[in-house]
Amino acid sequence: MPFDMNLIETGENLTIEFKREYTEEIKKSIIAFANTAGGTLFIGVNDDKTIAGINNPDETLLKVTNAVRSAVKPDLTLFVDCRVEKAGESQIIIINVQRGTACPYYLAGKGIRPEGVYIRQGASSVPATETAILKMIKETDGEKYEETRSLNQELTFNEAEKYFQMENLPFNQNQQKTLHLQTVDGVYTNLGLLLSDQSVHTVKLAVFEGLDKELFKDRREFSGSLLKQLWDIYEYLDIHNSIRAEIKGLTRTDIRDYPEDSLREALLNSLVHRDYSFSSSILVSIFDNRIEFISIGGLPKGVFLEDILLGLSVPRNENLANVFYRLHLIEAYGVGIPKIMRSYSGSPAKPEIQVTGNAFKIILPNRNTAGNDDEKIKFLENEEKVISMFEKQSAITRKDIEDVLSVSQAKAVRIIRHLINMGVIRVNGEGKNTHYSKT
């Protein structure tokens, strides 16, 4: 059936575009139509609506179909119809493009970025903004972060390949598609981004002196593939997991500050269940008497803390959890929190879980300081008394501290050292003339 010449008479608009001859810009126009409301592209028509015609329609038609097949991703061929038509004494090519079902479509060589994704604005095809691209991805792929297409398609997996090799598991393209790191079209998902060397999500870890966040001892930020982060963080935690020896008769028993299972499961829980649609980092804080793991993202709707403690598992990132399961990092769904609780069997201190609408916090108590909190509180109270002594005198001695607090020389020295390290007081003089003043 001959085409309707009235389409040309309407001129260029949101759904109509003219090209005098085939150029590389045609690919951008096809992508823009597919990402917006569909449209028709005429090759062999001038901008003023006059017919120029083309001398080699079959060759031009082949160029168009090859471009659609090889230069546009995801596959758009089902939504594009190309044909040669007579317009008076000339021949033109008409390309009908439907709005696609896998937006955003993009130039294969540019990726899902503004320079690769085009939309229609009036009679022009223009680069889409990153906000528009994200909106198209959500409309097409849904709201699950790990299943949506990654904006970064230039991903490498050096670290991930290493860990898959350790478990004698393949990591080829078919396996990546099976694990949902890639779509069926070979496009990387956000799960692929999380496991790639280019992952943008981090874990921030801090070591504090004492029981609060006033004095830092060390800070670290872990980045890269989540698999690398997992192992690097666990190794760091293991270094800070001290051992206390108990000797009864001829038997020596070594007790680590934290059960290894509890550290492992708390870390895995933070990585697997956090909400990666937010950019905030996971926070791990090490104190003298506890370690806290805070990950963004509360409990899924309809799930309560009591359910989690019983072993109910509703993973926010089901595909990520499956990858960890394949790598034997997770034994079975729902055993992590109960395992943490069991690891403290026989200990006077128990793990604590706190949940808000947007955060999940696991507190692991130090088994070797459990029961010593009263002593720590007394120590802090004595420090405050020492500081208050400066309200009545500008300088004090160790003997003054012993008398006012009724403590031994050793305890007085310990208090003095801690206050000096905190920068609260400074030492003056030496020997018998040693005294201390407020900084």
Q: 106's torsion region: left (phi>0), alpha (psi -120 to 50) or beta?
A: beta
Model pLDDT, residue 175: 95
Q: Yes or no: say if 293 and 386 are a contact pair by the CB < 8 Å rule.
A: no
Burial class (CB in 10 A: 0-12, 13-18, 19+), 314: middle
> Which domains can be identified in the chain, with CATH numbers?
6-140 (3.30.950.30), 203-300+327-365 (3.30.565.60), 373-438 (1.10.10.10)
345-383 pLDDT tens trace:
888 888 998 888 788 999 999 988 865 555 555 667 788
Cα 269 to Cα 252: distance, rounded to the nearest angstrom: 33
Give which of 104, 174, 170, 124 is closest to 13, Cα–Cα.
Answer: 124
- The number of CA neighbours under 13 Å toward the Cβ of 254 is 5
Q: 373-389 vs 409-421: helix axis angle to the nearest 10?
A: 80
Cα 246 to its chain centre, rounded Å, is 42
Cα 217 to Cα 210: distance, rounded to the nearest angstrom: 10
Q: Yes or no: say if 187 and 153 are a contact pair by the CB < 8 Å rule.
A: yes
Q: Yes or no: say if 353 and 361 are a contact pair by the CB < 8 Å rule.
A: yes
Reduce the DSSP state of residue 8 to 3 states and report it: helix
Q: What residues in the chain have per-residue pLDDT under 50?
A: 1
Model pLDDT, residue 279: 83
Give which of 409, 425, 406 is closest to 417, Cα–Cα.
Answer: 425
42-69 pLDDT tens trace:
999 998 889 988 988 899 999 999 999 9
Amino acid at 164: F
Cα 118 to Cα 115: distance, rounded to the nearest angstrom: 8
Model pLDDT, residue 1: 45
Give which of 204, 199, 198 is closest to 282, Cα–Cα.
Answer: 204
Reduce the DSSP state of residue 92 to 3 states and report it: strand
Give which of 153, 149, 158, 152 is closest to 197, Cα–Cα.
Answer: 158
Reduce the DSSP state of residue 324 to 3 states and report it: helix
